[in-house]
Amino acid sequence: MSAHPRTSSGYWYAGDGRPPALQVLEALRAYRTAESAMRLRTRESMGMGEKDVLALRYLLEADRAGTPMSPRDLASKLGISSASTTTLLDRLSRSGHVARRPHPTDRRALVIVATEEADCEVRSTLGAMHERMMSAARRLSAEEAATVTAFLHAMAEAVEAADETQLREDVAQCRHPGPDHGAA
């Protein structure tokens, strides 16, 4: 790694030979990769599917916020059907991570609560990581934090701007009439 070569306009291509913008996107991609690898490890260490882990996170979050969730809430958060939610809760309940409690006022409904063990499990798997992240974030000065925050918001906006209608149109445009590519 070279020292920071300076020009009159400040740092230039610090770190390696590539433009800073590329380095930034590369770093973002590296983070994404690391994150999904971590999620895979978490899933495997807990012996659960992806949705199950996500569900547990939502449930614990809701528990802490004092606003417990119903199966329906969970279904819409996870983007799965009511039927899948039932079987998901069966799984999580069988494994001891959640419990179905009667809703205090609505006798049709349920309140899903995460068990103590689920809380402990998630805390021990994700808590240390979160602490490391927070500690890194705290090392930023206020100005740096503002820069990073603004950048991340810009990135979120950039990926949100591609809405489905747009996507569908763009894809359709690729169908030049020549070869066959339809279903068999």
Residue 74 CB neighbours (<10 A): 22
Interaction between residue 21 and its own copies (CB under 8 A) = yes
User: In Å, what is the CA distance from 112 to each residue of 11, 22, 54, 63, 89?
Assistant: 54, 45, 14, 9, 9
Q: Which residues, numbered 89-148, are part of the site for DNA (CB under 7 A)?
A: 89-91, 100, 103, 105-110
Q: Is 95 exposed, middle or buried (0-12, 13-18, 19+ CB in 10 A)?
A: middle
Using CA atoms of 52, 81, 156, 60 in order, give the dihedral in degrees to the nearest 10. -40
Q: Among residues 108 and 164, whose Cβ is nearest to its own copies?
A: 164
Residue 98 three-state SS: strand
> Considering the complex, what minimum distance in angstroms separates the CB of residue 100 from DNA?
6
172 is an interface residue for DNA by CB under 7 A: no
Hey, which residues between 123 and 152 contact its own copies (CB under 8 A)? Answer: 124-125, 128-129, 132-134, 136-149, 151-152
Among 55-63, 64-72, 80-88, 94-102, the segment contacting its own copies (CB under 8 A): 94-102
Mark residue 10 as left, alpha or beta (left: phi above 0; alpha: psi -120 to 50; beta: remaining): left
Nearer to its own copies, 83 or 161 (CB): 161
Q: Which does 102 bind (CB under 5 to 8 A by kind): DNA, its own copies, none?
A: none
**For binding to DNA (CB under 7 A), which residues are involved?**
49-51, 70-72, 79-91, 100, 103, 105-110
